[in-house]
Structure 1
Amino acid sequence: MSKVTINSFDELEKLIGHELGISEYHTFTQEQILLFADATLDHQWIHTDPEKAKTDSPFGDTIAHGYLTLSLLPHLWNQIVEVKNLKLQVNYGIEKFKFNQPVLVNSRVRLVAKLINAVNLRGVTKANIGVKLEIEGNRKPAYEGEIVFLYHFL
């Protein structure tokens, strides 16, 4: 899978409206879910107790935290796009975002990204990227929305 390489605002602007690519699959393990629970102090049983989840959860198993799936976005994004000639990249925002479907433990997910818009704000590039986290074997994505990055090109 080859990455899209972007060296400047002009190169980015030409990609508006185009799908940028699809990441590799990532599997959410129970260990990763437990580590996230420890890091965020969110130990709700639906994430951390496989035995209780088997009997009491409508999903029949534990699920990844929604914010865990979101936190993987930079890792998956970096598999799709390489932005070069940067002084700095800043996570600026999340817009029109919705969690659609829970991600069960041991599910495989991948990110699909599309450039919605890019504008030059006095030398700083604001890029709105449409993102969708697909769950293997499920027609409904885990989430959909837009992330906003600020790119300070050299």
Structure 2
Amino acid sequence: MNVVEFIREQREQFQQRNNEFRASLQPKFKNITGLLSDKFKPLTNTLNNPWLSRASFQEQDEDQKSEQVVQTPAAAKAYCQLSEQIGEETHLGEWFSLDQECINQFAKVTHDEQWIHTDPERAAKESPFKATIAHGFLTLSLIPKLTNTVEPEANPYPDARMVINFGLNQVRFPFPVKANSRVRARTRLIELKPMKKSIEVVNEISVEVEGSKRLACVAETVLRLYY
């Protein structure tokens, strides 16, 4: 056997052994592939999950919102004007009489007809306040009225085409409001956030009771002004 034939024979034997070795490993690789597929399938499902993908988009939207600036000319003008008032009292409302009839109507609508609100005789005898008192949520619900945000002729944001109540950051009721008391609200602008087509306004509202040094309600309201 010459050298060329020897090399050819060795190469053929090597290829045969290599093919046999690969054939023996193939089932093992299939098992490993199956295991990896099962392991990563939940992750794949998670990435394709519409709820989680929506959440991730929401996070991106929030990040984008934080970088947004006022774009419409009317909103930009309003933002500049309002930004000069941050930290200042922007409105002092008129006195509003919170009588027993108003309290009774609110109690009926909300199904909160506790005697401390609706029974003047019992309240005079048993209540520590010696009178019926307004629901805390009634006082809170009067904030749009007390701050004139629902009065077309005295709206504090006359240039806004629409004002939306976006929510509350925090609310406290330090002292109750007795029936037939008069209340009013002071508004202090504490924060502004420029949006694409609107301005988010955070106000601190302090509801006063006539003749009392203690506040009936202190709330941070969040409004969206659209221009």
TM norm structure 1: 0.90
After the TM superposition, which residues 68-87 of structure 1 pair with which residues of structure 2 at under 5 Å, given as runs? Answer: 68-78=138-148, 81-87=155-161
1:16 equivalenced with 2:86 (yes/no) = yes
- Give 2:203's aligned residue: 129
* Pair 1:146-2:225 in alignment: no
Deviates more, 1:140-149 or 1:9-18: 9-18
Q: 2-side partners of 1:83 and 1:74: how far apart?
A: 13
Please tell me whether the aligned partners of residues 20 and 81 of structure 1 are also in contact (alpha carbons under 8 angstroms).
Answer: no
- Where structure 2 has 5 or more consecutive residues not aligned to the other structure, the ranges are 1-76
Name the aligned partner's letter for residue 113 of structure 1.
Answer: T
- Once the two structures are superposed, the pairs formed by residues 1-154 of structure 1 within 5 Å of their partners are 8-78=78-148, 81-153=155-227
CA positional deviation for 1:84: 2.2
Give the secondary structure class of the aligned counterpart of 1:51: helix
Which whole-Å CA distance do the structure 2 matches of 1:22 and 1:151 have between them?
Answer: 20
SS of aligned partner of 1:142: strand
Structure 2: how far apart are the matches of 1:60 and 1:8? 47
Rounded Cα–Cα distance in structure 2 between residues aligned with 1:99 and 1:139: 14
- Cα offset for 1:11? 1.5
* Bigger Rg, structure 1 or 2: 2
Q: Distance in 2 between matches of 1:87 and 1:119?
A: 18
Identity, in percent, stands at: 37
Letter in 2 for 1:66: G
What TM-score does the superposition give when structure 2 sets the normalisation length?
A: 0.62
Structure 1 residue runs of 4 or more that deviate by more than 3 Å after TM superposition: none
TM superposition shift of 1:81? 4.7
Output one character per residue of 1:77-115: Cα deviation in whole Å (capped at 9) or x when no partner: 117752123232111111132110000011111101100
Distance 1:17 1:59 in 2: 35
Aligned positions, number: 148
| Residues 116 and 130 in structure 1, CA contact (< 8 A), matched pair in contact too | yes
**Which protein has the bigger helix share?**
2
Task: Kindly report the root-mean-square deviation, in angstroms, between the aligned alpha carbons of the 2 structures.
Answer: 1.7
